[in-house]
């Protein structure tokens, strides 16, 4: 398979995945609607579905300070780790991912990824 064929196949699979993802989201919403407001579990003939709630906190630091909801903690300096890696120092538990983007030469379109 030549590069052009691989790219066309890749783009075809992206479209299929997008359709499947949209269908999956619809089914997910339908399953979620099957729960009564305070219900934590529902059952079918062969499955148990347990509803979990996760809180996503995107409170700014200023907002948290106003609520006295901050703490000080030590964090890994990712910029320093990158500098060390680029200077040839081996840093444990660091991996590198290689990936690509495909851009349509006829028109630039962000959906080409």
pLDDT (tens digit, 9 = 90+) per residue, 19-67?
999 999 999 999 999 999 889 999 998 899 999 989 989 999 999 999 9
Residues 6+ apart with CB under 8 A from 49: 31, 34, 35, 41, 42, 43
Residue given tokens 């979620």 in the structure block = 32
Q: Using alpha carbons, select from 3, 33, 23 the residue that is nearest to residue 100.
A: 3
Number of domains in the chain: 1
Q: Are 112 and 11 in contact (CB under 8 A)?
A: yes
Structural domain includes residue 41: yes
Domain of residue 51: give its range.
3-93
- Quote the pLDDT of residue 71: 92
- Quote the pLDDT of residue 113: 46
Structural domain includes residue 103: no
Structural domain includes residue 88: yes
Report yes or no on whether pTM surpasses 0.85: no
pLDDT (tens digit, 9 = 90+) per residue, 99-112?
877 677 776 545 54
Residues 6+ apart with CB under 8 A from 91: 81, 84, 85
């Amino acid at each position: 398979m030549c590069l052009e064929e691989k790219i066309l196949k890749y783009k075809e699979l992206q479209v299929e995945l997008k359709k499947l993802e949209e269908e999956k989201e619809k089914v997910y919403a339908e399953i979620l609607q099957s729960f009564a407001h305070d219900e934590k579990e529902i059952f079918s003939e062969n499955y148990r579905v347990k509803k979990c709630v996760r809180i996503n906190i995107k409170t700014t630091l200023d907002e948290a300070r106003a609520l006295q909801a901050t703490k000080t903690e030590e964090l890994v300096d990712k910029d320093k780790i990158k500098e060390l890696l680029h200077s040839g120092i081996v840093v444990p538990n660091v991996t590198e991912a290689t990936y690509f983007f495909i851009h349509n030469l006829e028109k630039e379109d962000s959906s080409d990824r």
